[in-house]
Structures are given as structure tokens and as C-alpha cells.
Amino acid sequence: KAGVTQTPRYLIKTRGQQVTLSCSPISGHRSVSWYQQTPGQGLQFLFEYFSETQRNKGNFPGRFSGRQFSNSRSEMNVSTLELGDSALYLCASKSDSSSYEQYFGPGTRLTVT
Amino acid sequence: GENVEQHPSTLSVQEGDSAVIKCTYSDSASNYFPWYKQELGKGPQLIIDIRSNVGEKKDQRIAVTLNKTAKHFSLHITETQPEDSAVYFCAASNGWSFGNEKLTFGTGTRLTIIP
């Protein structure tokens, strides 16, 4: 089975711009979560989607949003980028609401200049 | 909310020796404790996990122990090899009940195996 895939792998944006990141979960997985990883804050939960519904959201400003499509693929969007948004954005999937194991993709490295 | 502390932040061991990484958690409702290994340029890889109804779990050279009373859990790697060098993260969650579908991570341990 193919793992979680994320595109693009690297991205450079300018302050004030917006960005959309994409995640394709493992085939058959219906839950997708997004995490931000930075050297200072570590791994922090952004939000989780299951069957196109956001079920949980972390403590991030409204500039961070996401959605999930009927095929379970997910996108996250960051508007009005700030320098502090530079991070590795990780997507993780798990099969359904009753499963525990969560599998991560390789991440998208976002640099804001 | 849940808070997970992880120690040490860095660990160097001689090849063939054992490595132990420890984590504590704050939320007594947490019942799932995975460990992830992250290599440079890659996403975290699930290497072992344990649920609260189990005290210990082993998979070849890797084992995890859980003490629910003390709210701490540990990762044990025996017979370490150079390919074990990576950053290891512990995490906790309270079972994926609706509205709680998230992992809270420790701050990571950079493990270096000295040949």
C-alpha cells in the first residue's frame, strides 16, 4: 500500500501571500490530521478531518484552514502568511474513527520570506 | 489539555548498548501512547505503540513500558545500531473520542549511536 503523500514537498512564499498544501491519505483511510512542526514549538496539532467534516481543531489562528474531499484527500490553506509560519507541515492519516494508529507523510517544507 | 514531557533531549550511546527515553503525561484520560522515529528530511514513522490496558509491549529490539499510576511511559532500544540514530518522539491521546482526535507530542530526543 502506498503511504501518505504530500505535495508540494518544498515551497517558498512571501509574507502576505497565501498557500495551499495537499495531502493524499493511505488508500482506505478516512481520517486526515494536520500538524505543524517547528524547532521552537515542536509538533503541534492543527486540525483533523473525517468524512469531509472537521472534528477537532488546535489552537491556531483563523488564517489556518482546511478541508477534506469525498475521496479523503485533504488540503490546508494558510492566508496572509507570516514569517513565523515557516515550518514543516505534516499530514497524517488513520483508517477510521475507532482506529488508533496514525501514519505520517513526508511533510511540506514551507519557507516564508 | 494534555501535556507531554520527554527526556532526555539528546542521548548518545555506543553501538550495541541500550537506549532509554522517558515521557510523562498529565491527562489521566490518555489511553494511547505511540512512539515515532523521525529521520532527517522525513516524516515521523510509527515504530511502536501501547494502550493503557497493557503494561509492556515488545517488538524485536524495541520495547515500550507504561506506568499508568505514575503517568509515565518509556521507550527501550536494545542492541543499538547506527540506523537507530534519529529523533524520537513520544505522544499521547485519549482514545480518539469525538472531538479529541489528536496526538499531543513530546519535544523529541535526538539519539546518536556512536560506532
Least confident of A97-101, B53-57, B66-70: A97-101
The answer for B107, left when phi > 0, alpha when psi is -120 to 50, beta otherwise, is: alpha
Output the CA angle B82-B88-B89, nearest 5 degrees.
Answer: 170
What pLDDT band is residue B57 in, cutting at 50, 70 and 90? very high
* Chain B: residues touching A (Cβ < 8 Å): 32, 34, 36, 41-46, 49, 51, 89, 91, 93, 95-96, 98-108
Whether A55 and B45 lie within 8 Å, measured CB to CB: no
Q: What is the pLDDT of residues A60-76, one digit of tens each?
A: 999 999 999 999 999 99
Stronger pLDDT, A1 or B19, i.e. the higher one: B19
Give the number of A-B residue pairs with CB atoms closer than 8 Å.
Answer: 63
Whether A100 and B95 lie within 8 Å, measured CB to CB: yes
Query: Taking residues A53-57, what's their average pLDDT?
Result: 89
What pLDDT band is residue A29 in, cutting at 50, 70 and 90? very high
Position B96 pLDDT exceeds 70: no
Q: Which residues pair with B62 in a beta bridge?
A: B59, B77
DSSP assignment string, B7-76: E-SEEEEETTS-EEEEEEES-TT--EEEEEEE-TTS--EEEEEEETT-SEEEETTEEEEEETTTTEEEEE
Peptide bond into A106 cis (omega under 30): no
Question: Which residues of chain B lie closer than 8 angstroms to A4, CB-CB?
Answer: 43
Question: Which residues of chain A lie closer than 8 angstroms to B51, CB-CB?
Answer: 100
- The DSSP call for residue A25 is P
Position B99 pLDDT exceeds 60: no
Question: What is the C-alpha to C-alpha distance for residues B66 and B55, in angstroms, rounded to an integer?
Answer: 5
Question: Which residues of chain A lie closer than 8 angstroms to B101, CB-CB?
Answer: 31, 33, 48, 50, 55-56, 97
**Residue B3: predicted pLDDT:** 93
Whether A97 and B96 lie within 8 Å, measured CB to CB: yes
Query: Taking residues B73-94, what's their average pLDDT?
Result: 96
